[in-house]
Structure 1
Amino acid sequence: MIAPTDRRVIEREAVDAHEFAEGIATRSAPVVLRGQVAAWPAVAAGRGGHRALADYVARFAGGAPAETLVGPPEIGGRFFYRDDMRGLNFKREQIPLRRLMVELLRIADQSAPPALYANAATADEHLPGWAEENRLAFDPGGPARLWVGNATQVATHYDRSPNIACVVAGKRRFTLFPPDQIANLYIGPIDRTIAGPPASMVDPDAPDLTRYPRFSDALKHAQVAELEPGDALFIPSLWWHHVRAFGAINVLVNYWRDDAELPSPFVALVHAMMSVRDLPHAEKTAWRSWFDHYVFGANADRAADHLPDFIRGVLGPPSAERTKQLRAYVMGSLHQEG
């Protein structure tokens, strides 16, 4: 791996609810929480070996099948685009997690097994009862999601919400890049993605610096987190991260803050590509003043202070009513443009 190993993610011991709220949740950089979930029954089961972990998972009956990525041995566990970019190098199947564990056990000793990976399976839906037995010491702001598979890797991507990733079994390596490195990561299509958010085209473990020369600059800013069972990692919103799982069977649980009710800035970005990006330079410069005044400027939240409260409308302070007004305004505008 080329990413500099001397730029390790900062580490802390396990934290309680107060320490998380005051010292972790407000951070703008990742932090490893050593031993944060070491007391989980699931982690204890994993320490007993693959069979013990499979037996533990089998206790949770009645779950719905989970979306599972299935790739042939020749992809080496790297779920990605096909070489010609006309499709993906894997397929998706619906597999119950209990059955997936049985299959992972069956192929555990194969030298070149197929790549299997159930991703973001909500615990309450797919393993009812799991979340009650394996709880964090603080409120993560969203439900537990399970990631179960063998030796696989997920391309460098971002999450809209802060992410808390907890290793139950196996080892994980996260290679993280700050949000401002987007230009050096060579992002792939944003509307034809691998599994949700856009991803980097570069493999950090084997980067082609001839094809992607700016990636060498991204590596100067990379941070690496090596996680063992029982460890957790806090990843702030929009930090890019590549995830590599090691071992024949590995399990991770993550939590995203539940932002489902909040409008997505990504949608605003896409609309700006359509309406602003291709304007003449002088017009774009003029619109930049608007964006600075109403969105990015230090006093953007006070841009309507000179107006009476009753007339501010969509310029008013944050509230459910303002969000409703903004949605209606945007939808009306899009309807007129269409």
Structure 2
Amino acid sequence: MQAIKELAGLTRQGFEQEVLQDYRPVVMRGLVSDWPLVAQGRAGLEACLQYLMAFDGGKPVDAVLARPDPARAFGYRPGLSGFSFVHDKRPYAALFEQLWRYSHFPDPPALAAQSALVAEVLPGLEQANACPLLDAAVRPRIWIGNRASVPAHFDDSHNIACVAAGRRRFTLLPPQCAPLLYMGPPDHAPTPAPMSVLPNLQTADAERFPLVRQALEQALVAELGPGDALYIPPLWFHQVEALAPDLNILMNYWWRDAPAAQRKDDLHLAAMRLAMLAFRHLPDGEREGWRALFEHYVFGARGESLAHIPADQRHMFGELDVKADAAIRKDLIAQLGKP
């Protein structure tokens, strides 16, 4: 495992120039240390939960509960027949009361309310605890729970994760590590993002999963305390462990680069699943041919490799206006609609 780059006193301009351009995770120590929520988190479980209740609008949130096994992971069950947790909706008042009760247990179940949009469930909290590196239009989500973990997975968005209470350990790996992580099916995962079947990379059985050792040689590991933040680039795998026994709180900010004109989303994950569906039954030699064509048409054809085509005749190789983009999408929809 490798050390991760750390920065302190980062400005918004510095973040955009030094961090976003590098496409590697960066720890930003003390980025949100002045948050009132961080101060309440340092004051202890009861003080922090009382602070949060002052913002509670009573809306039910998604909660997950897992057995108190060594991994305490919200992931797959053995054999991938299902998931290792149960899910329900409950108001924060009920969740906080359960966290308080669990704080008296020597080894309670893992409990968390995950990825709740702060403006909807705790209105006003985001204004009182704002990220200094982002516009207010990037809306934060909040994760509240006791000791638990989420197996290695990736998101297709930029992510700033801010620890407000407790401690969190992140194990981060570049997208190129996907073949080493024993990923589950993209259409059968505990979250919208594809996830590893391994509850914890560091404790995986080396005989059953020998490739994990190669992955961990490339891994970056960061442990964050209250007030610290981590930038995770799109598509980087991350295993997240909430370490404090009674209370861990994270606020995170996901955002995407602006999509093409007139689009809501560029649907990268959908394109990947469609490609999996289209090429799955071809013989190996033909699949390798398509791999080479994807390398050229999707990822390679730019700059000097297009010099032989006049700039105004590049069509899908070049810039597309709204009309051309819409015509191509309409044709693709028609192709997908054929029996």
Q: TM-score, normalised to structure 1's length?
A: 0.90
In the alignment, is the contact (CA less than 8 A) between 2:4 and 2:25 conserved in 1?
Answer: yes
Q: Secondary structure in 1 aligned to 2:78?
A: coil
1:208-234 CA-partner distances (Å, limit 9, x unpaired):
111111111001101100100000000
Match runs of 1:204-219 below 5 Å: 204-219=201-216
1:186 is aligned to 182
**1:90-105 matches, cutoff 5 A:** 90-105=85-100
Aligned residue identity for 1:221: Q
Match of 2:282 in 1: 279
What is the Cα deviation at residue 290 of structure 1?
A: 3.4
User: In 1, are the aligned partners of 2:56 and 2:92 still within 8 Å (CA)?
Assistant: no
Question: Residue 65 and residue 305 in structure 1: after superposition, are their counterparts in 2 closer, same or farther (change >3 A)?
Answer: farther
What corresponds to 2:56 in structure 1? 61
1:320 deviates by 4.7
Distance 1:288 1:206, change over 3 A: closer
Secondary structure of 2:337's match? helix
2:144 aligned to which of 134, 143, 148:
148
Q: Partners of 2:145 and 2:230 in 1: how far apart? A: 19
Give every structure 1 segment of 4 or more consecutive aligned residues whose post-TM-superposition deviation is greater than 6 Å: none
Letter in 2 for 1:208: D
Query: Within 5 A, what are the aligned runs for 1:3-42?
Result: 4=1, 7-42=2-37
Q: How far off its partner does 1:273 sit?
A: 1.8
Asked if 1 retains the 8 angstrom alpha-carbon contact of 2:183 and 2:196, the reply is yes
Quick check: 314-323 or 241-250, which moved more? Answer: 314-323
1:16 corresponds to which letter in structure 2? T
Would you say the 8 A contact 1:149–1:249 is kept in 2?
yes
Q: Of 236, 241, 244, which aligns to 1:244?
A: 241
SS of the aligned residue for 1:188 comes to coil
Q: Secondary structure at the match of 1:61?
A: coil
Partner of 1:224: 221
Alignment of 1:247-326 (within 5 A): 247=244, 248-258=246-256, 261-299=264-302, 306=309, 309=312, 314-318=316-320, 320-326=322-328
**Which amino acid in the other structure matches residue 257 of structure 1?**
W
Q: Contact (CA 8 Å) 1:313, 1:325: kept in 2 or not?
A: no
Q: Which moved more, 1:23-32 or 1:95-104?
A: 95-104
What residue identity is the alignment partner of 1:54? L
CA distance in 2, matches of 1:46, 1:295: 47
Q: Which amino acid aligns with 1:22?
A: Q
The structure 2 residue matched to 1:122, chosen from 108, 114, 117, is 117
Q: Which residues of structure 1 form unaligned runs of 5+?
A: none
- In structure 2, how many angstroms separate the alpha carbons of the residues matched to 1:305 and 1:67? 54
1:274 deviates by 2.2
Do the aligned residues in 2 keep the contact of 1:294 with 1:301 (CA within 8 Å)?
no
* Structure 2: runs of 5+ lacking an equivalent: none
Sort the Cα spacing of 1:163 and 1:320 in 2 relative to 1 into closer, same or farther, 3 A. farther
Name the % identity.
37
Q: Quick one: distance in 1 between partners of 2:303 and 2:91?
A: 48
